[in-house]
Amino acid sequence: MPLSVIPRRGTLLHGPRIAAFKLVSARLVGSVPRLQARVADLNNAIDSNNTNSIPPSTFNSMPIREARPPTMVRPVVTALPQNRDEFWRKVPVWRDVSAREFLSHAWSLYKFLHAVLPDEVPYDKCSSRTQTRDEFIQDVFEGITAATMSVRMTPYILSRINWRDPRHDPIVRQFLPLKSRMIPDHPELTLDSLHEEADSPVKGLVHRYPDKALFLPTSVCPTYCTFCTRSYAVGADTETVHKASLKPGRRRWEEAFAYMASQPQLQDIVVSGGDAYYLQPNQLQEIGERLIAMPNIQRFRLASKGLAVAPGRVLDDADGWIDALIGLARKARRAGKAMAWHTHFNHPNEISWVTEAAGQRLFEEGVMVRNQSVLLRGVNDDVETMAALIRGLADNKIFPYYVYQCDMVKSVEHLRTPLQTILDLEARIRGSIAGFMMPSFVVDLPGGGGKRLACSFESYDRATGVSQYTAPAVTGRDKENKVYKYYDPVDLLPKDTDGGCVDGG
Ligand code: SF4
């Protein structure tokens, strides 16, 4: 199982200054005992002096679940030097890590979870059932196999989790997939549910509204959300999805810039991804300056979850990224153009004193910050939590801009709510905070209809869970007259609601 929990600087873009724990999953998952057995195979091999007969590691050569005799397995590492420098032992917390552990992709995630979890993990909200530590870890590993997104989390976000009860932690629910939670996908969902690729005149540039386009310069993020709308492209390949990767590239970027400059009606660009935190400072600067220089572009937004998952970077004076961002905001203001940072908080637990200090710095530097939350079952789908999130953001000078109905994406049916939930939340929260701090509660219509206020449906049949919308402002592909449908999760249709004690999905 290629999994790692390796504190390292990012590698894909030559290392933005996020010392991110990188929990990267790829192809292999098996039971924990088998996983340990495979690591043991590797241990034995490395411990022997015959490095040319090293049996397979737990890398990409075979699924751990397919335990085979060592002689049958294609080795990934064919030779190791006799005098190996165990350089990682210089890192104090890895002083006791052997070569065999260090070379195993499985080691880091397993070790991390093993270290932070209690012996017994509460399974349901009634606390009538528990999972052992190893059962929970196995649940995670099997979830990774079924998920569409790799696992990557920052030290900040790992430290905001209640590891005594991880199954019910709102941050775990967003970033660590548990197989036991997953339920079948809705039959109407598709991988690229918003039809972004179909609406892209240039690879990585989605043009759906007359005056606005979405530029995707990268497909890497500091953390990967299990419910990512863009799971067709973002992150590493997984067992279930071969990604339409959008790596930063001169030719692709130039084609996107040329398209943006050639469309006089385009005034507003969202730079997303992936995540702008994973752009090098000079790349961020270049994108901003190119947009500022285009006479047709009046506004641009940089989308990054970084403020929610690694806010310390905003306070790091040695980091060029934040300087580049602040410098761009100044240049944009001088040019009479509006620049904003759009970030992505989903739960009040993501806000800490570090967030407060970062929000204050951005406020002092004149950087407008807006937030786009996703409504997620068991995370923020109750009035108390959503209201606390909105107020917490407002208190930190982060404008609560949108709350999205969770998109119909693969493997996260357990995180979706019925449309009724978002309608109820808006009805209950509106009026409890100043109107300019009240987010719009929206549905991004499956099929590329764009964002519509959730309450603006043409019809909503609560028994079947089907809501219908029109989207007169979107353009192209006969969209203006189209009727778009959103489907509530099947398991929460009225007939299935029994009100019993459940795990929360
Ligand atoms: S930060 Fe955004 S783009 Fe990245 S994984 Fe999360 S939802 Fe997807």
**Tens digits of per-residue pLDDT, 289-318?**
999 999 999 999 999 999 999 999 999 988
| Cis bond before residue 274 (omega within 30° of 0) | yes
Residue 44, token pair as written in the block: 């034995």
Which of 303, 222, 234, 293 minimizes the C-alpha distance to 261? 293
Domains located in the chain, CATH noted: 5-181 (no CATH), 205-458 (3.20.20.70)
Please check the confidence at residue 173 and state whether its pLDDT lies above 90: yes
CA-to-CA distance for 403 and 461, rounded, in angstroms?
22
Q: How far is the CA of 146 from the centre of ligand 1 (A)?
A: 18
The set of protein residues with a Cβ atom below 6 angstroms from ligand 1 is 221, 224-225, 228, 230, 234, 273-275, 305, 344
Coil/strand/helix, residue 195: coil
Which residues touch 213 (CB under 8 Å, ≥6 apart)?
Answer: 205, 206, 207, 259, 260, 263, 266, 268, 269, 270
**What band does 113 get if pLDDT is binned at 50, 70 and 90?**
very high
Q: How far is the CA of 101 from the centre of ligand 1 (A)?
A: 30
CA-to-CA distance for 322 and 328, rounded, in angstroms?
10
- pLDDT, mean over the chain: 83
**Tens digits of per-residue pLDDT, 431-460?**
999 999 999 999 999 999 999 999 999 999
**What band does 12 get if pLDDT is binned at 50, 70 and 90?**
very low
Angle between helices 383-395 and 419-429 (to 10 degrees): 60
Give percent of the chain with pLDDT exceeding 90: 65
Please check the confidence at residue 103 and state whether its pLDDT lies above 80: no
pLDDT at 68: 29
Q: In this structure, are residues 239 and 410 in contact, taking their beta carbons and an 8 Å threshold?
A: no
**Number of helical H runs and strand E runs in the chain:** 13, 16
Q: How far is the CA of 135 from the centre of ligand 1 (A)?
A: 28
Which of 148, 230, 304 for a ligand 1 pocket mutation test, highest count of atoms within 8 Å of Cβ? Answer: 230
**Tens digits of per-residue pLDDT, 211-224?**
999 999 999 999 99
Please check the confidence at residue 174 and state whether its pLDDT lies above 80: yes
Q: How far is the CA of 395 from the centre of ligand 1 (A)?
A: 24
Please check the confidence at residue 79 and state whether its pLDDT lies above 70: no
**Tens digits of per-residue pLDDT, 391-404?**
999 999 999 999 99
Please check the confidence at residue 335 and state whether its pLDDT lies above 90: yes
CA-to-CA distance for 271 and 294, rounded, in angstroms?
15
- For ligand 1, atom 8: residue with the closest CA: 228
Q: Which atom of ligand 1 is nearest to the CA of 149?
A: 5
Which of 221, 278, 345 for a ligand 1 pocket mutation test, highest count of atoms within 8 Å of Cβ? Answer: 221
Q: Hey, what amino acid is at 351? A: I
User: For residue 121, which phi and psi values (nearest 5 degrees)?
Assistant: -110, 125
Q: How far is the CA of 228 from the centre of ligand 1 (A)?
A: 5
Q: Which atom of ligand 1 is nearest to the CA of 221?
A: 4
Please check the confidence at residue 19 and state whether its pLDDT lies above 80: no
- For ligand 1, atom 5: residue with the closest CA: 224
**What band does 105 get if pLDDT is binned at 50, 70 and 90?**
low
- For ligand 1, atom 3: residue with the closest CA: 274
Residue with tokens 């006799």: 82
pLDDT at 55: 24
**Tens digits of per-residue pLDDT, 250-279?**
999 999 999 999 999 999 999 998 899 999
- For ligand 1, atom 7: residue with the closest CA: 228
How far from the centroid of its chain's Cα atoms is residue 438's Cα?
Answer: 24
Please check the confidence at residue 286 and state whether its pLDDT lies above 60: yes
Q: How far is the CA of 229 from the centre of ligand 1 (A)?
A: 8
**Tens digits of per-residue pLDDT, 454-501?**
999 999 999 999 999 999 888 766 777 899 999 999 999 997 545 444
- 57-94 in b/e form (b: 16+ CB < 10 A) is bbbeebbbbeeeeeeebebebeeeeeeeeeeeeeeeeb
Mean pLDDT, residues 67-82:
40
Residue 326, token pair as written in the block: 């602040």
**What band does 100 get if pLDDT is binned at 50, 70 and 90?**
confident
pLDDT at 81: 67
Q: How far is the CA of 154 from the centre of ligand 1 (A)?
A: 13
- For ligand 1, atom 6: residue with the closest CA: 225
Q: How far is the CA of 221 from the centre of ligand 1 (A)?
A: 6
Q: In this structure, are residues 170 and 162 in contact, taking their beta carbons and an 8 Å threshold?
A: no
